[in-house]
Chain A
Amino acid sequence: MTQHAEAAPRLTRRQRRRLILGGEYGIFIIAVVLAASLADWGALKTNFAEWRVAKTVFPDIITVGLRNTLLFTVTGFGLGLITGLVLALMRLSSVPPYRWFALAYIEVFRGLPALLIFIFMGTGIPLAFPGTNLPGGVYGTAAVALGAVSAAYMAETIRAGIQAVPRGQMEAARTLGMSQGRAMRSIIIPQALRIVIPPLTSELVLLFKDSSLVLFLGITLEQRELAKFAQDAASQQGNTTPIIVAAICYLLITIPLSHLARRLEARQKRGQR
């Protein structure tokens, strides 16, 4: 026994841990019960989870809404990836004007709300250059707008990826007689792209959500993507259920993608190639 004089019996470490854990669970349960008792379940059900309404949006919400969302995302991502790669190489160029242009582009497009760029693309471009038509109509314009925004973010990611490739790789390639450009194409960029796959997957998730901004380009019924489709259906039916259906569609894509990004990142941390 020690000499410590203790007035009250102290808790052991195990007792204290149980007490804290019990308290934390208790607060959680009280909060859930409180929220559940305050909610009007009947109203919630008829407004957000009306099966009859949900059935009316199928299959169009998939064949039109989700299909267009995916189409906008994929074309925008493809265009953004190529533009981003070019911008990243310009950022690393030894020619100062290239660096300045890339930096200016990145700062402008990352600094503006994507919404503003879509409004500009939808109304500004036709006003400024009457008669110009991007190939693919709204689909082309959407790809350009989404690509323009995502390129700015991807450029910075890819630049970091290129710089993360060890200097010795370039030296080894040059020593074998490769030109700077050849070494970039065959040795540096393939490794850099591997490094940036996880962050680019996250970028794809962001783009998938941002594709809803396409509605600001002025689209026809056939060109509606998920969000717009759900909004129209909701106001038509006077019921919010289509929004919930659209939300579930989004999550069915974004959650597996985010999960994939995390797994790729974890795999890279372990150093497997």
Chain B
Amino acid sequence: MTTVNDSAAVQVIELYKAFGDLEVLRGIDFEVRRGEVVCVIGPSGSGKSTLLRCVNLLEEPTEGNVYVGGVELTDPDVDIDAARRRIGMVFQQFNLFPHLSVLANVTIAQRKVLRRPAVEADRIARENLARVGLADKVDAYPAQLSGGQQQRVAIARALAMGPEVMLFDEPTSALDPELVGDVLGVMRKLALDGMTMLVVTHEMSFAREVADRVVFMDGGVIVEEGPPSKVIGDPAHERTRRFLSRVLDPAAAEIED
């Protein structure tokens, strides 16, 4: 059995998640160390997004424990709102608040949750918007931005809360191909700044270059994990090899029975 490791930023122990009869996660054990960038890859339906959503308890695990920064989120008595403040999350569909301006999107949780004074919230919002390259869009509304810009605002919104860990759920999957680069660029910079990141992604080049560790999931379990040079460069398992060949060269994939 795995023991609780207080120095881990994220630790997941014996995690199970079922939706009715459908078992999505079947015993996951893994951890993310502070400052580490971990990419989770795997075919759709492998449970990687569910795993990510279990880390901040957007999905309630059926069994198992989740620790973030030494606090057990799966404890029924935990202050979940306080715990989530320390975990930033970026969604595939951005989920910006359409009724608020870019600046208000980034300040609202600072004001209402952290109770920061307006001037301070405003300053922190502008800093983080500058960090993602959108300092000039403070007064725009989400609908006026491209997908790539919206996703970068979403990253700034999460960063403004000063999180210890950032979760990314396929952050570039809903973007037009030419906009993917901007978002990945912001994420790469974030990784270089030492942010602890857990990223579910299909961008193999990003995983190869930025990740400290890659986790390959299939069928609700971790099939293999290790440095990207190993998991992506020289996978040990047949399932990993088959998945990678389909992702890296989709045109050559054969139809399976």
Residues of chain A having any CB pair with chain B under 8 Å:
166, 168-169, 171-179, 182, 186-187, 190-191, 194, 271-273
| A105, B154: Cα distance in complex, Å | 41
A-B Cβ contacts below 8 A, count: 66
Most buried by A among B88, B97, B161: B97
13 sample A-B contacts, Cβ–Cβ < 8 Å, listed by A number: A168-B95, A169-B95, A169-B97, A172-B154, A176-B84, A176-B85, A176-B161, A177-B85, A178-B81, A187-B108, A190-B99, A191-B97, A273-B99
Roughly how many angstroms separate A179 CA and B158 CA in the complex, as a whole number?
Answer: 16
| A162 → chain B closest CB, angstroms | 14
Query: Chain A's interface: helix, strand, loop or mixed, by majority?
Result: helix
- The answer on a CB contact under 8 Å between B56 and A177 is no
CB-based contact B81/A177 at 8 Å? yes
| Inter-subunit contact A177/B109 (CB<8 Å) | yes
Assembly CA distance A228 to B128 (angstroms) = 62
CA distance A186 to B81 in the complex (A): 15
| Residues in chain B near residue A194, CB distance under 8 A | 99
Q: Is the CB of A171 within 8 A of B58?
A: yes
Q: Whole-angstrom distance between the alpha carbons of A41 and B99 in the complex? A: 56
Does B58 lie within 8 Å of A175, measured CB to CB?
A: yes
A82 to B143, CA, bound (A): 30
Q: A176-B84, A177-B84, A194-B99 are in contact. Are A171 and B112 (CB under 8 A)?
A: no
Report the nearest B residue to A187, measured CB to CB: B97
In the complex, given contacts A175-B84, A187-B97, what are 16 additional A-B residue pairs having Cβ atoms less than 8 angstroms apart? Answer: A166-B95, A168-B93, A169-B95, A171-B91, A171-B95, A174-B81, A175-B87, A175-B89, A176-B85, A176-B109, A176-B161, A177-B81, A177-B113, A186-B108, A186-B112, A187-B108
Is B251 an interface position by the 8 A CB rule? no
Residues of A within 8 A of B99 (CB): 190-191, 194, 273
In the complex with contacts A172-B91, A271-B143, A178-B56 CB distance below 8 A: no
Nearest-neighbour CB distance to chain B for A161, whole angstroms, equals 13
Please tell me if B157 contacts chain A, counting CB pairs below 8 Å: yes
Q: Given the known A-B contacts A177-B82, A186-B112, are A273 and B161 also in contact in the complex, defined by CB atoms under 8 Å? A: no
